[in-house]
Structures are given as structure tokens and as C-alpha cells.
Structure 1
Amino acid sequence: MLDNKPERPVKDKEGKPIPEIQQQRNRWVEYFEELLNRPAPMNPPDIEAAHIDHPIDVNPPTTEEIRMAVRQIESAKAAGPDNIPAEALKSDIE
């Protein structure tokens, strides 16, 4: 959906609007080349990564957990990426 706000003009380094499309594109290229190709700071800040310990159960699922998950799958739905229909999974645990 288009809104009725006027477009903001692309401006050169002095702040003057650039009327030509090709000049606007060139200015964008120049802007991002300057932005992305800056030298690394001489004294980068010494920032330590925050250590967050989220307890996650990384053990394989138990047989009962698998049974509970399979029971919750809705029948008559499209198979997932493994192409195994829900009915086939459910018939194996019942």
C-alpha cells in the first residue's frame, strides 16, 4: 500500500538534493562503501560476552515423551518434511 508522504530526496555530502537517478545510485554506493569499509578502531572496547546459563534438557527424549508427542499430532493433515503421515506414526504407538 502506498502512502501519500512525499519521498525524501537523496542528498550529497553537502546536504543538497540529487535530482538524477544515476547520481542518486552513485551516492548510495559511495555512502555504503564509506560506511562498510572503515578501518577497525585502534583501541577496540574490551567488552565481555554476557554469560547466561539457560538450563536446557539435552538428553534424548524418553519413549513416553515420544508417545505423548505423537498422540498430539492431528490426523488427516499433510505429512511433515519426513513424509510420514500422522496415521502411520499413531498406528505404531497404539
Structure 2
Amino acid sequence: MTDPFDQHLNRDNTCAVKFDATQAVFGRDDVIPVWIADMDFAAPEAVTQALKERAAHPVYGYTLFPESLFQSMMDWFRDRHGWDIHREWILMAPGVVPSL
């Protein structure tokens, strides 16, 4: 089995800021794209499948976070780090910057 981190995925011409905006940002194309925190490996198949299943529903409205999400986060912190966190400690935010 090959390591997914060793696979090269060409993201040129996919509207990826990291690769397709260098001319607009720097005025040149020969820039090594380490200026943006972006990932260049494929999403896990389970994530891709979950997105396909959700996208199959014809309405894309505002959604709530299911309680199972919070439970899985608490389980992950317990299993990975030995931390017992409480549900009321978890706050959801739309991104890193708004969280600051």
C-alpha cells in the first residue's frame, strides 16, 4: 500500500489559491507555494463519501450540529489525549479567525 502523503495530486487550474493565484498575489508564476496553509493530499474516502451523501439531498439550508458530533469530539479527546472534556466546553465557529 502506498502512503497517501507520497502521492502527487496536480491542483493546477482547479481554482486552488495556492497554485492559481500566484500571479495575482505576487505578480509572477515562479513562486514556491508555501505562503498558504493548504493541504495537497486527498481527503479520506469516508469524508468524500459523506460529502456525496449530503450533497445528494436537494436542499442546502442551514443545519444544526448533531449531538453525535460533540460526542465524537469528546471521545476523540479522551481516546487520543486522555482528556475528559464536557459538552458545554465545546463551541463551534465558522473558522479560525472568527474564533480568535
TM-score (norm 1): 0.22
More helix by share: 2
TM-score (norm 2): 0.21
